[in-house]
Amino acid sequence: MSFPSRREIEVALLLEIERMGGEAHPQNIYPKVTAHFPQLTRADLERKKADGTNLWENRIAWVRYHLAENGEIDKSIRGVWRITEKGRERLRKEGLLDKAPEEIAPVLVSPELRLHQQVQAQLEEIGRTFRKYAKKEYWESPYTYDVIWKETEWLPRITHAFEVQDKGNLIEALAKLKHAHDTWGSHLFLVVTGEKDRRKLDQILLPHFVGTFHEISRVTTVLSPEEVGELYELLNRFKEVIERFLAK
């Protein structure tokens, strides 16, 4: 899954520095910022750069650099991250300075992330309606899949693999789906957010499906979040009837 946006990390970082008395050492702040984003999986947090450094901690440090350049964090003291009055003013404008932790999480979740989580939950529930073992954020080396279905939990084969991805960043999602197809012969589903026009979406996907990922072009079902939502609502309406159909 993609990391939170720069804006989301900025707000979380400023807030946690302020809570720690206005300044903090990087190693103390990383876990506190991470706690704002429970959607991050173990695999996300363990990702490494080519030089072996932790990718998530590097992202936080990169955000801190931009905050310092913008004058919201004081960069004059080496090894200490200190919030400035400009940083506090931003928290005031965000309405977060005096809020309790449990009130803040919804503010930090972007509409894009909220949609991603909603589609994941719907796909998981749809799978369970069909009596599949359905699981979101499923780790199977080397990837974490947004949602998978299996016949039962203990069987190794992933029968259905789902990725929910914004239209502008499809390569990682397609790589995961190709791996699932090559490894288990999974049925593949790509839910693309950010583009409702089907013709435009086909144009976005075309270079990928005639190039690197041509092998999965005919076995990948492309859906919109709206289509997943409609299917979810329809199945909920007839859930009892479906359960009777599936009864052994």
Distances 119 to 64, 153, 230 between C-alpha atoms, Å: 31, 21, 11
Does residue 1 sit within a domain? no
Shared domain for 146 and 98, answered yes or no, is no
Mind listing the pLDDT tens digit for each residue in 9-47?
Answer: 999 999 999 988 899 888 888 988 988 888 787 778 888
Residue 14 domain boundaries: 6-109
pLDDT of residue 195: 79
Does residue 146 sit within a domain? yes
Q: What is the mean pLDDT of the chain?
A: 87
Domain holding 97: CATH number? 1.10.10
Mind listing the pLDDT tens digit for each residue in 224-244?
Answer: 999 999 999 999 888 888 888
- CA separation for the pair 86, 92 (Å, rounded): 10
The answer to whether residue 144 scores a pLDDT higher than 90 is no
The answer to whether residue 8 scores a pLDDT higher than 60 is yes
Nearest to 4 by CA among 158, 97, 107: 107
- CA separation for the pair 167, 205 (Å, rounded): 9
Shared domain for 34 and 94, answered yes or no, is yes
The answer to whether residue 123 scores a pLDDT higher than 80 is yes
Last residue of a domain, one of 51, 83, 109: 109
- CA separation for the pair 223, 94 (Å, rounded): 35
Phi first, then psi, for residue 192 (nearest 5°) are -105, 125
**Measured distance between the N- and C-terminal CA atoms of the chain, rounded to whole angstroms:** 37
Shared domain for 120 and 239, answered yes or no, is yes
Distances 195 to 149, 163, 201, 221, 226 between C-alpha atoms, Å: 26, 15, 6, 16, 11
The answer to whether residue 101 scores a pLDDT higher than 70 is no
Using pLDDT thresholds of 50, 70 and 90, give the confidence band for residue 174: very high
pLDDT of residue 143: 83
Ramachandran category for residue 37: left, alpha or beta (phi over 0 → left; psi -120 to 50 → alpha): beta
The CB density around residue 139, as the number of other CB atoms within 10 Å, is: 15
Total of domains in the chain: 2
Shared domain for 165 and 183, answered yes or no, is yes
As given in the structure block, the two tokens for residue 127 are 């799978």
Shared domain for 83 and 179, answered yes or no, is no
Q: pLDDT > 70: what percent of the chain?
A: 93
Q: 128, 236 in Cβ contact below 8 A?
A: no
The answer to whether residue 201 scores a pLDDT higher than 80 is yes
Mind listing the pLDDT tens digit for each residue in 36-91?
Answer: 888 787 778 888 888 888 899 999 999 999 999 999 999 888 888 999 999 999 88
Last residue of a domain, one of 56, 82, 109: 109
